[in-house]
Amino acid sequence: MQSLGTYTLTNCTILTVDEADTFFARGRMTVQNGRILRIGSEAELPLEGDVADMGGKLVLPGLVNTHTHSHSSLFKNQADDLRLMDWLNKAMWPMEAHLSAERARAATALSCMEYISGGITTYADQFYYAEAIAPVASASGLRCLLAATVFEKPSVETDDTFGAATAFVERWLGREEETRVYPCLGPHAPYSVGPELFGRVADFCRKHDVLLHTHISETQDENDQIRARYGKTPTQWLEGLGVLENRVLAAHSIHLDERDMRIYARRGVHASYNPVSNLKLVSGIMPYRTLREHGIQVSIGTDGAQSNNSMDLLRDLRTGALIQKQAEGDPTLFPAREMVRLCTIEGARALDLERQIGSLEAGKRADFIALDTESPRLCPLHRSSLSNLYSAVAYAACGADVSDMAVDGNWVMKDRTILTMDCDAVRKEAQEASEYLVRHSQVQ
């Protein structure tokens, strides 16, 4: 990564996404030792250190993707138009059976390249081969919450997914400042992890104070299956096991009843909204308004490329808001400010990182992106109007408009050029790995 020590961004509009909705039509931000030293208007702040002339771009916090599977970029555009369980059993898991550590690394590099190009500075990943892919995530320059996945059955990686996952956490825990990889555990779902193993995962997460990242109530079929097996909803079953006493990030959270929502609220469970994946698999629409009325904190994720095809979080944000408005028959629901907060500060809060990232404020880590305001999607831009700035990000922008990115103050992308990886090599290795998986799995 290209680090400039102390430097000042100038000639830009800055949208801080802080609690006061502070913005600067003509702003400056000074970065020192990876953190924001000062932020304000050009008239107030002097130029310090090196000068980064942003050419009139719109600067805002880096995007936070709270649910994805980085290995899945190799499965992109394969086995589309299937229901969730058919998609898993007939396509995804047969392809995953031919993964290897090397192919998982190739997939992770490709996903990181896509995250960078779309403005995602932090992502919450869930998969096995965590030990193999963590160095790739670290080298990309991004911030990664890496949940090593636990299954009841053996995986292609190991017969003991719990042992491999906990060993990974123990080796990487405490190195976050050095690596930007935050290790945690990812028990896949109530239908793929039994009660004894879920209990062991919960105990480990509690002991080591790490995040527990799982899928809950993605489909009605899942709910029916768990109720038939245990006589409870997935949420109530996990509550009975003590799992929800941990810091829990629950992907999907679509089919929750009133009691489930009260449990989420009481336990502080964070729900990751994955609108495009849910639409594609016809899993349902998260009851966003009802969750928020119960005081449940919601963030947004892309899910993996195998159920989304693209990991453009800005595109997904717009889709997710529009379907909520349509479902509720209320165009005032989910305003642009709330949309932008969902993929920045609320994402940081879901990962317990809101004191470090998610908004641009003095003392926080310098994780930021810039949007190219010469894009026709962002013209006209009324820089003195806060509502117009929020609307431009929420409704007009897409990942292709992100031109620059820094994480911990280190430049990861400048003028659409990614600085942390050999993109040609990444594409070549991912293409070869995907061709191998398709050829050997014989998925049609």
Match 């317990």 to its residue by tokens. 352
Q: Domain locations in the chain? A: 7-62+365-418, 63-350
For 85, half-sphere exposure in the C-beta direction (CA atoms, 13 angstrom radius) is 9
Question: Alpha helices, DSSP H only, in 242-334?
Answer: 258-267, 275-280, 288-293, 313-328
318 — phi, psi (to 5°)? -60, -45
CA angle 343, 43, 383 (to 5 degrees): 40
pLDDT 10s digits, 163-218: 999 999 999 999 999 999 999 999 999 999 999 999 999 999 999 999 999 999 99
Q: How many CA atoms lie within 13 A of 395 on its CB side?
A: 14
For residues 71-85, b (16+ Cβ closer than 10 Å) or e, as one string? Answer: bbbbbbebbeebebe
Tokens linked to 316: 């997904």
Angle at 135 between CA 129 and CA 140, to 5 degrees: 120
Residues in the chain: 444
Q: In a 3-state reduction of DSSP, which class is residue 357? A: coil
**What are the backbone dihedrals phi and psi of residue 137, each rounded to the nearest 5 degrees, phi first?**
-60, -45
CA distance 353 to 364: 10
Residue 94: band (very low, low, confident or very high) from pLDDT cuts 50, 70, 90: confident
Question: Confidence class of residue 44 from pLDDT cuts 50, 70 and 90?
Answer: very high
Architecture of domain 63-350: Alpha-Beta Barrel (3.20)
**CB neighbour class for 115 (10 Å; exposed up to 12, middle 13-18, buried from 19):** buried
pLDDT over 70, % of the chain: 98
What is the CATH number assigned to the segment(s) 7-62+365-418? Answer: 2.30.40.10
Write down the pLDDT at residue 4: 58
Q: Which residues pair with 60 in a beta bridge?
A: 369
pLDDT at 242 over 60: yes
Kindly tell me if the per-residue pLDDT of 76 is higher than 90: no
Q: What is the pTM of this model?
A: 0.96
- Do the domains spanning 7-62+365-418 and 63-350 agree at the CATH topology level? no
